[in-house]
Structure 1
């Protein structure tokens, strides 16, 4: 069972950001489920993943250009994960060095949107993995590796995400 709790409530900026992220997730989720109903799940997944991956590459390139030291994973994390993003996803930094950042997300507004649409757990898990193609390609654009461990969509307590330099 998925437990996607919210502990940060009543912050107007966070609420707006969660709403916008949820709206984007609703579009993606409904696009996928409508295609699946039409017997085109594989085609839809391929197209959605390609679009999300391209978005990640674009965003990663923008983040890299904004980083004072794009070789530093710490600098990347501080540029990518603004205070509002940290609060929106209720992110906890487990480790932050020049070579590696390990974070845990305690809430996911994308998943919340899919839950609000009453998607089953396996659909939520599939959509989550598709959405993570953005983060995978942000890391790639930065020249970093990416690891996705546990996810809330799989029924785990948190989403465990790592960005790191090769061989670190």
Structure 2
């Protein structure tokens, strides 16, 4: 008996909606895992913050460490990520980068799929931002401040990156 195999066809493009759906699936997985941990008596916040920070550190290690904000931006917000999160660069100078996210598929999932309140999305978002803090561990010349978050009820997220002064 002969065995038939099929070769996957190359993926020419993936729609932004498909990518947003993937982020929403990740948010659901994250939400349900932490909800289960809490239900079993574990400290879901400590677990989330530690694990997500470690994820960010791992992700940051795959990037070229730099204190040049333009080079950092190219890695942090490639065109696909910019589309998924409807990201806009509000400011880019030699010393400061301000990025605004006008959409968050994670918050969309928490609200639409799980009926989370702003208080709940604020907490989940705060934990998720630990990944950004972890990523920034690979960029010691850049200071990171999340100033606004959709999860906290804001209309957009605002992340500020400042080049640290030479010591």
Larger Rg: 2
**8 Å Cα contact 2:125-2:152 kept in structure 1:** no
Structure 1's unaligned 5+ residue stretches are 1-10
Q: C-alpha root-mean-square deviation of aligned residues, in Å?
A: 1.9
The match for 1:63 is 63
Tell me which protein shows more helix as a share of its residues.
1
User: Following TM superposition, by how much is the alpha carbon of 1:25 offset from its aligned partner in structure 2, in angstroms?
Assistant: 0.9
Q: Any idea what SS the aligned residue of 1:74 has? A: helix
In structure 2, C-alpha distance between the alignment counterparts of 1:35 and 1:58, rounded to whole Å: 23
Bigger relative contact order, structure 1 or 2 (CA pairs below 8 A, ≥6 apart): 1
The match for 2:117 is 120
TM normalised by structure 2 equals 0.83
TM normalised by structure 1 equals 0.83
In structure 2, C-alpha distance between the alignment counterparts of 1:36 and 1:47, rounded to whole Å: 10
Q: Any idea what SS the aligned residue of 1:104 has? A: strand
User: Following TM superposition, by how much is the alpha carbon of 1:12 offset from its aligned partner in structure 2, in angstroms?
Assistant: 4.4
The match for 1:33 is 35
Structure 2's unaligned 5+ residue stretches are 1-12
Q: How many residues align?
A: 152
